[in-house]
Amino acid sequence: MSAKILDGKVLAQQLEQELAGRVEAIKAKKAGRSPILATILVGDDPASETYVRMKGNACSRVGMESLKVLLPQETTTEELLAEIDRLNADPYVNGILLQHPVPSQINERDCFDRISISKDVDGVTSHGFGRMAMGERAYGSATPAGIIRMLDHYNIPVKGRNAVVVGRSPILGKPMAMMLLNLHATVTICHSRTQDLPGIVRQADIVVGAVGIPEFIKGDWIRDGAVVIDAGYHPGGIGDIELSAVVDKCSAYTPVPGGVGPMTIATLIAQTVEAAESMG
């Protein structure tokens, strides 16, 4: 079987080209002022610094501005909430990204939920999740929303199919399941403690690996012809799924790297552009 490669890198590049034109239109309408994505980084975690830099680079590629807010490791919840309040009130900031994870002394959920829903372009607020789950307008969590863009672009049918999401995080597994359900898939949410997980995965037409454990989902769990979406990334360039054991038997798959990751950032930028357009 020749599996279709769901190339997120190529799709992200195409999306960025489209977004660059939309950014130019916004600038023409607003006397040259670019859309602004504010990124908040608390502490000095090297991986988080890399992710924030990548998001800033993506902003530059489409002509947007990236406002980088750097806060010290010892920042309190109250101090971070005050910074979010300042950005919420800034009429020139279109989107706010709080880089996950934050230091342990901070209540991350309280800080996520402080972000105005109109600027929640990373789809992390409880309010935004609830609206999305109910089929109302909201910016979806960037990684699952990027996956949905990929499935649509590559004409992967979702309606009526059995989808298994392995992972239940509030910014990946849970919103992924709701987005697939809204597209009329029959969805099972699993996790590392699910009983007979291999048996459940073997029934899936679409498998989404979002558990955060390297190659946790084994190749022999996945049936022939399934669509394999690997949302994990770990050192050594491996994901949550044993992709080497499925590429010859699945119908389509996302490579690691170059699959879901680029679409996460491109979707974040796309939703910031949409926020700028909606702000008039």
Rounded to an integer, the average pLDDT of 125-149 is 97
Is 99 known to be catalytic? yes
Residue 212 has, within 13 A of its CA and on its CB side, a CA count of 9
Active-site residue, selected from the candidate residues 7, 122, 205, 240: 122
Judge whether 267 lies within some domain: no
Of the pLDDT bands very low, low, confident and very high (cuts 50, 70, 90), residue 164 is very high
Q: Does 1 have pLDDT greater than 70?
A: no
What does the pLDDT read at residue 2? 83
Average per-residue pLDDT for the chain? 96
| Active-site choice (7, 55, 113, 240) | 55
pLDDT beyond 80 at 39: yes
Strand order in the sheet with 162-166: 4-5, 252-253, 227-230, 206-209, 162-166, 186-190
Helix spans in the chain (H)? 8-29, 46-62, 77-89, 108-114, 126-133, 142-153, 173-182, 197-201, 260-278
Active site includes 105? no
182 and 89: one domain?
A: no
What value does the mean pLDDT take over residues 65-88? Answer: 98
Output the pLDDT for position 280: 67
Whether 122 maps to a domain, the answer reads: no
- In-domain check, residue 47: yes
Same domain, 82 and 147: no
Q: Does 224 score more than 80 pLDDT?
A: yes
Q: For residue 224, what is the domain's CATH number?
A: 3.40.50.720
- Report whether pLDDT(148) > 70: yes
Question: 37, 65 in Cβ contact below 8 A?
Answer: yes
CB 208 within 8 A of CB 172: no
Number of domains in the chain: 2
CA atoms within 13 A on the CB side of 279: 22
Residue 65's beta-bridge partner residues?
A: 36
Tokens matching residue 40 = 């908040």
pLDDT at 175 (0 to 100): 98
Shared domain for 151 and 209, answered yes or no, is yes
pLDDT at 279: 85
Structural domain span for residue 179: 142-261
**What is the rounded CA–CA span in Å between residue 201 and residue 165?**
9
Residue 107 sits in the same domain as residue 197: no
The answer as to whether 3 is a domain residue is no
86 in any annotated domain: yes
Lowest mean pLDDT among 1-10, 152-161, 209-218: 1-10
* pLDDT above 80 for 206: yes
Of the candidates 99, 113, 120, 271, the residue annotated as catalytic is: 99
| Residue 154 sits in the same domain as residue 98 | no
83-124 confidence digits (pLDDT tens): 999 999 999 999 999 999 999 999 999 999 999 999 999 999
Q: Known catalytic residue: 174? A: no
- Residue 203 forms part of a structural domain: yes
Among left, alpha and beta (phi > 0; psi -120 to 50; other), residue 67 is beta
For residue 270, being part of any structural domain is answered with no
The tokens of 46 are what? 């090297």
- Same-domain check for residues 80 and 113: yes
Distances (CA, A) of 174 to 183, 208, 226: 15, 11, 21
Is the domain of 153 the same as that of 73? no
> Which CATH number is 50's domain given?
3.40.50.10860
Check whether 49 has a pLDDT greater than 70. yes
pLDDT per position as a tens digit, 225-245? 999 999 999 999 999 999 999
Tell me whether residue 217 is in a domain.
Answer: yes
